[in-house]
Each structure stands twice: as structure tokens, then as C-alpha cells.
A and B are shown apart, each in its own frame.
Chain A
Amino acid sequence: MAALTKSEMAERLFEELGLNKREAKEIVELFFEEIRSCLENNEQVKLSGFGNFDLRDKSQRPGRNPKTGEEIPISARRVVTFRPGQKLKARVEEYAGTEQQQ
């Protein structure tokens, strides 16, 4: 299945807003980089209409090497979770595509 990528996003900015290709590419890069650096600094990102990127701190927990069965602790870590907003959820819910989604 086709997937949306940064180059298509930049292409859209070029077509719809008339940004030149270099500007369009730079804005798309900055968009994702700003979100990443915000999350890196433990700050939540809230994009109304789309969704929120939240952070969760997980404490250490016991795990296993699936190959050897050996017990190894899974270290404490911070993870990003995405909570889609109402508007995005409603738009996606209507999707009744025939393509198999995983």
C-alpha cells in the first residue's frame, strides 16, 4: 500500500501554497524536528484537530530474552504515545476501505 512521505508533503506545499521546493522541504523537516525536540525535552505536543503526543515514564520491569529464555530486566524508559483527537478519530472511523489493514 502507498504511504504518505515527507516528499509528498513538500510537493503539496509547493502546489497549494506556492512555496519553492527548497522552502517546502525545509518546512516539512522543521515541522517534524520541532515536535521531536519538544518531546525530547519531556514536553507534550498538542495539535488540535489532529491529536496529542504524550510522554509516559515506565519503571524497570522483568523481561526475558525470547531466544534463550534468560531473565533480563527491561530498563526504566520514557516512551511517546499518540492520542488521536476527536476530529481525526471521526474522519478515520468512516473509512470503510477494502484494503486489508494490519
Chain B
Amino acid sequence: MTKSELIESIAAKQAQLSAKDVELAVKTILEHMSQSLADGERIEIRGFGSFSLHYREPRRGRNPKTGDAVELTGKYVPHFKPGKELRERVNQGLQMGL
């Protein structure tokens, strides 16, 4: 499912808002989530999961083209930990043969 399919299926499940409003809402939610992570803030959604940042130590890497050593600085990467309900439902899908 892509973002536009997600927007369509949300729009189909509620009566009040136009597809355009749902599109704006989905984009606003995703921007809010991205901005929080960019600010170093966690995201916690019960039953879905949590997003946090993991630190990657500085390391010496290589330019794959030239083979030259390059110093890579430490950085943060986004990390997602699925919540209990999501884990159980996804695994149930497997048990039901989906």
C-alpha cells in the first residue's frame, strides 16, 4: 500500500471529510512525525509501536569507487519497535496462512 492508497482507504472509512482533507491530514501527520524525530523526540503510539533514534558511532569507511578511506562522523538513525498489538496481529496473519 502506498501513501495515496492509504489516503483513499481512510477517506472511504469516514463520512465527514473530503479526500482532499484526508490527504492534507495524512501529510500533516507524517510531517509531524518526521519533524519530531528530526528534533530528537520519540514517538509512542500504543498498540502500534514506538519510533526513536539510535546513535551510530563514528567509523572509518571507504569510498566504494576509489577505495580511499573516509572518516564518517557519528550520526542518528530512526528506529521502529513494533507494539504488542501490531506484533500479534501480523503474526496471526501468518498463522491464518495469509
Partners in one complex: yes
Kindly list chain B residues whose C-beta atoms are within 8 Å of the C-beta of A47: 2-3, 6, 30
Counting contact residues on chain A (CB < 8 A from B), the size range is: 35 or more
B32 contacts partner chain A, Cβ-Cβ < 8 Å: yes
With A17-B25, A27-B14, A46-B1 known to touch, is A36 a contact of B89 (CB < 8 Å)?
A: yes
Q: Is the CB of A51 within 8 A of B78?
A: yes
CB distance from B40 to the nearest CB of A (A): 4
A97 CA to B87 CA, complexed, in Å: 31
Q: Are B77 and A84 in contact (CB under 8 A)?
A: yes
User: Within 8 Å CB of B22, what residues of A?
Assistant: 27
Do residues B86 and A88 form an inter-chain contact, with CB atoms below 8 A? no
Q: Are A46 and B28 in contact (CB under 8 A)?
A: no
Query: From A6, which residue of chain B is reached at the shortest CB distance?
Result: B45
- In the complex, are the beta carbons of B40 and A99 less than 8 A apart? yes
Contact residues of A with B, CB < 8 Å?
Answer: 1-6, 8-9, 12-13, 16-17, 19, 23-24, 26-28, 30-32, 34-51, 53, 55, 57, 76-82, 84, 87-89, 91-95, 97, 99, 101-102
17 residue pairs of the A-B complex, CB under 8 angstroms, read: A3-B44, A4-B43, A12-B28, A19-B17, A19-B25, A27-B26, A31-B26, A31-B29, A32-B47, A36-B89, A40-B90, A47-B3, A49-B30, A84-B78, A88-B78, A94-B38, A95-B38
